[in-house]
Structure 1
């Protein structure tokens, strides 16, 4: 293997990926800021936000996963310089994201009473309900925003969503500061204040994204003929055929991590709060791999449009290698600082919760040590999944992720977490097993698929 053919792609990969990474970090930081600010109120409040967000993350995984179908279709149209097809992808994608956002909100709203039957502490459940109502509504602007974002990404314009999320974060932090703690003349609303900050920030992101694209000359052709008369069954089906398996792939992974939240809740409030801390930090580093995953989806989609499968394979492998190197760095950071990072999220000087806080820090540090190891597996599986989406290969990867997370990972989490002394750490060892299995099987799928595409292209060339 000639390593230089991959490393010379690093520069372009990073230029394409860094705005996506910053944008995705923005999404995650909204949650982390909420956790840090709420964590200062006490472990119970942090556990309530964790429980409420566990439902939101499931819905978000479906919405964001579905919206990723827009990117490879837009990238392929861009590779072919087909404006009409690109416009159709954009309009139909936005329509479907709007319908999906409203549907997900209604599902959470009407199924909210289920959290009372999940074996979670009563005080945590009651505190989580009003928080859940407000944050669930924020899914509508968020999923519509994703429609704009995924299309812009497919056009290799990745900076607009970055700025949208930066602005959204600033709005979120300001509102959180005033409403969580009751600063100045604002009422002290606790975790409900955090929920209001989240919904307002997501509405601001959507408004910004719409107007910044509508005002750019490059996007003017895509904002014409915007009407329900233009909605066609053929394009709807094409996006759904890609979007549904993509949504399920993300759902299976996020569902596994959400199950870890619920399993931790069965162990007690401190385990649940510790799980939320470790999950917040792991999610932060995961966004770097997610950004590279979108970059590989765009570049693979472009090469697919040009029918250059040799270059496609080189481009994809260069991003796989880059992701591995980045995640190794994060793994080392977690291993070195695993005892110190959890302290950011709690008030170590709060004498009223001193014992609980120390227990939260101890459990979270154990989980971060495990997270250090699954950084690499998590990074590999998500970038390979991005490459497969760029190839518009989504159905087999959907089955692979289901087996890896729910047939391999989840049973291990249940057994080690609930039936051994490993407890919360055992739950996370199950996550590590599922992510590693997904990384291996997905890469095998990619290698076989690209090899076949290259051989078929060579055969066609010979026949000519």
Structure 2
């Protein structure tokens, strides 16, 4: 319920002579920033798609093992990457306030945080065997899961450091530079996948081992590329990456205050999703493989929209730094129009032509063996067709709220809904009532509730008075 003192904000009216395309923070300006980011995140999606397709051709067991192991690895990365990625809001707001020295301080502290975490991730390597034994997957799948997870861990710290470095470009709207680095990393990953997975560099590197090594090396490539770009004399001199004399008091504390809330929110959502992938593994190889295929296909919609979300956060943060919340609202509505157009179109394709997305996978397997997987995957893609539209709406609202600094509300909502979903999953296990369609119904309902709640928060307008930076 809203207090009488709270104002409900709707879509801002268009001034005479302006359109949603051409107005400040409208669709054109948003796309100029977001399209390189969309290309970057689309390349992540394509990399994962190709990676798992190659593994599927190599062995269905290898592909089935890659999803839970990869999700557990990413779950452990969620908090630090969520924190590091939230530096984008700090950079955007400092850029809007025209304070370049503080941008340098933010990036320096982010790199230090990521570097400190590198040895910590190595401590998780001996725990992998125990973790996957607890899940109850087959012995062969467990063996592959452990190997994949342990090798990925060697690139975990690089992922955090690269995420922090990239915000220097994305937060200032210089997204083309970030696009080239990310696409370069993905091209390297795909090339190494082709060489390693199929044993072209030796039998001991083939299969899931080669896939993990390719991913790990591509993460370290990004660190090297961003380091070369950041520490060029002209850039380093203007932004003072190595000079701590002008740091604002309490900057590190504010980074942890806001970034931690963002990191925990990402951890909750991805952790919940990871829990569901583990549950799918309890229902047999066919259910697990079909769910993995459906999730990979959904990534073709969701992952590119992550780039759009970063663009929305950047514009919202910049305009909050300028003291122009009305323009921040325009950026959000522009983002919603783009997201609904893209997700709606993809959803229709999933519903009407599901076999189009499965053709490449079918090429690597005997038709009779693939048919059972195909039938179940098509059923799940109907869930995805509905799921992806609300997922896009939720991403837009969360990106806007994060860009303004309203992260504590997002964290609270994530904690409540994830807890309810977890209790439902435990009840299903207890009463032995788990089936794959039921899990997808629960996930779809979860995303719908998140989307509705975050948009209600946006309409109240409380985010307009938020900021993550100190007054100059």
TM-score of the superposed pair, with normalisation by structure 2? 0.88
- 57, 60, 70: which one pairs with 1:43? 60
Distance 1:108 1:220, change over 3 A: farther
Distance 1:278 1:349, change over 3 A: closer
- 441, 447, 450: which one pairs with 2:459? 447
When you count helix as a share of all residues, which structure comes out higher? 1
Q: How many angstroms does 1:110 deviate by?
A: 3.5
On the 8 A contact 1:378/1:439 being kept in 2, the answer is yes
On the 8 A contact 2:404/2:463 being kept in 1, the answer is no
How many residue pairs were aligned?
Answer: 449
Indicate the residue corresponding to 2:374 in structure 1.
361
Q: How many angstroms does 1:421 deviate by?
A: 8.3
What are the residue-to-residue correspondences of 1:241-252 with 2, within 5 Å?
241-252=257-268
Distance 1:130 1:186, change over 3 A: closer
Please state if 1:372 is matched with 2:372.
no
On the 8 A contact 2:272/2:418 being kept in 1, the answer is yes
Indicate the residue corresponding to 1:138 in structure 2.
155
Please state if 1:314 is matched with 2:327.
no
C-alpha separation in 2, matches of 1:379 and 1:417 = 30
Distance 1:236 1:204, change over 3 A: same
- Secondary structure class of the residue paired with 2:405: coil
Indicate the residue corresponding to 1:74 in structure 2.
91
C-alpha separation in 1, matches of 2:66 and 2:277 = 11
* Structure 2 stretches lacking a partner, 5+ long: 1-10, 467-472
C-alpha separation in 2, matches of 1:216 and 1:22 = 29
What are the residue-to-residue correspondences of 1:211-222 with 2, within 5 Å?
211-215=228-232, 217-218=234-235, 220-222=237-239
Indicate the residue corresponding to 2:418 in structure 1.
405
C-alpha separation in 1, matches of 2:431 and 2:353 = 29
Please state if 1:89 is matched with 2:101.
no
C-alpha separation in 2, matches of 1:111 and 1:416 = 26
On the 8 A contact 2:405/2:463 being kept in 1, the answer is no
- Secondary structure class of the residue paired with 1:120: coil
- Secondary structure class of the residue paired with 2:58: coil
What are the residue-to-residue correspondences of 1:267-306 with 2, within 5 Å?
267-306=283-322
On the 8 A contact 1:65/1:250 being kept in 2, the answer is yes
Please state if 1:172 is matched with 2:189.
yes
Q: How many angstroms does 1:28 deviate by?
A: 2.8
On the 8 A contact 1:414/1:427 being kept in 2, the answer is no
C-alpha separation in 2, matches of 1:447 and 1:102 = 43
Distance 1:116 1:366, change over 3 A: same
Deviates more, 1:55-64 or 1:290-299: 55-64
C-alpha separation in 2, matches of 1:109 and 1:232 = 40
Indicate the residue corresponding to 1:262 in structure 2.
278
C-alpha separation in 2, matches of 1:105 and 1:28 = 26
Indicate the residue corresponding to 1:437 in structure 2.
449
Please state if 1:21 is matched with 2:27.
no
Distance 1:92 1:112, change over 3 A: farther
- Secondary structure class of the residue paired with 2:113: helix
